[in-house]
Amino acid sequence: MGVLVEIRKLSKVYERGKERLEVLHHVDLDIEQGDFLALMGPSGSGKTTLLNLIGGLDSPTEGSLTVAGQRIDNLGEGALAKWRAGHVGFVFQFYNLLPMLSARKNVELPLLLTRLSAAQRKRNAGVALDLVGLSERSSHKPGELSGGQQQRVAIARAIVSDPTLLVCDEPTGDLDRNSAEEILRLLQQLNRDHGKTIIMVTHDPKAAEYARHVLHLDKGTLVEQPEALQV
Partner 1 sequence: MKYFHLIWSALFRRKTRTVFTLLSVLAAFLLFGLLDSVRTAFANAGGSVAGVDRLITVSKVSFTMALPKSLLPRIEAVPGIAQVSYANWFGGIYQDPKNFFPNEAVAENFLDLYPEWSLSDAERTAFKGTRTGAVVGATLARKFNWKLGDKIPLQATIFPQKDGSNTWTFDLVGIFHAKDPKLEGQENVLFFNWSYFDEASRFRNGSVGWYATKLSDRGRADQVAQAIDRLSADSDHETKTQSEQAFTAALVSQFADIGLIVGAIMGAVFFTLVLLTGNTMAQAVRERVPELAVLKTIGFSNKSVLGLVLSESVLLLVLGGVIGLAVAGVVVGIVRVKLGATVPLARVGGPIWLRGLALMVVIGFIVGVLPAIRGMRLRIVDALSGR
Task: Walk across the sheet containing 62-67 and list its strands.
Answer: 19-32, 3-16, 62-67, 70-71
Chain-centroid distance of CA 96 in Å reads 13
**Among the residue ranges 45-53, 63-71, 118-126, 177-185, the one whose residues contact ligand ADP (CB under 6 A):** 45-53
CA distance 226 to 29: 9
**Between 15 and 54, how does the x/- string for binding to Mg ion read (CB under 5 A)?**
---------------------------------x------
DSSP E strand stretches across 17-127: 19-32, 36-40, 62-67, 70-71, 88-91
Residue 104: other Cβ atoms inside 10 A: 21
What DSSP string runs through 173-192? TTS-HHHHHHHHHHHHHHHH
Residue 120 binds partner 1 (CB under 8 A): no
Residue 47 binds ligand ADP (CB under 6 A): yes
Sequence length of the chain is 231
- Smallest Cα–Cα separation from 36: which of 217, 225, 230, 197? 197
Q: How far is the CB of 51 from ligand ADP (least distance, A)?
A: 8
Among 37, 49, 55, 182, binds ligand ADP (CB under 6 A): 49
Residue 171 binds partner 1 (CB under 8 A): no
- Quick one: 48 or 179, whose CB is closer to Mg ion? 48
**Among the residue ranges 86-94, 123-131, 142-150, 197-205, the one whose residues contact partner 1 (CB under 8 A):** 86-94
- Smallest Cα–Cα separation from 199: which of 51, 16, 1, 2? 51
Q: Contact, 150 vs 97, CB < 8 A? A: yes
- Smallest Cα–Cα separation from 137: which of 104, 92, 114, 166? 104
Q: How far is the CB of 161 from partner 1 (least distance, A)?
A: 9
Residue 77 binds partner 1 (CB under 8 A): yes
- Quick one: 20 or 115, whose CB is closer to ligand ADP? 20
Residue 69 binds partner 1 (CB under 8 A): no
Per CB under 6 A, residues contacting ligand ADP are: 14, 16, 21, 23, 41, 43-49
Per CB under 5 A, residues contacting Mg ion are: 48
Per CB under 8 A, residues contacting partner 1 are: 48-49, 52, 55, 57-58, 77-78, 81-82, 84-86, 90, 92, 96-101, 105, 109-110, 112-113, 118, 157
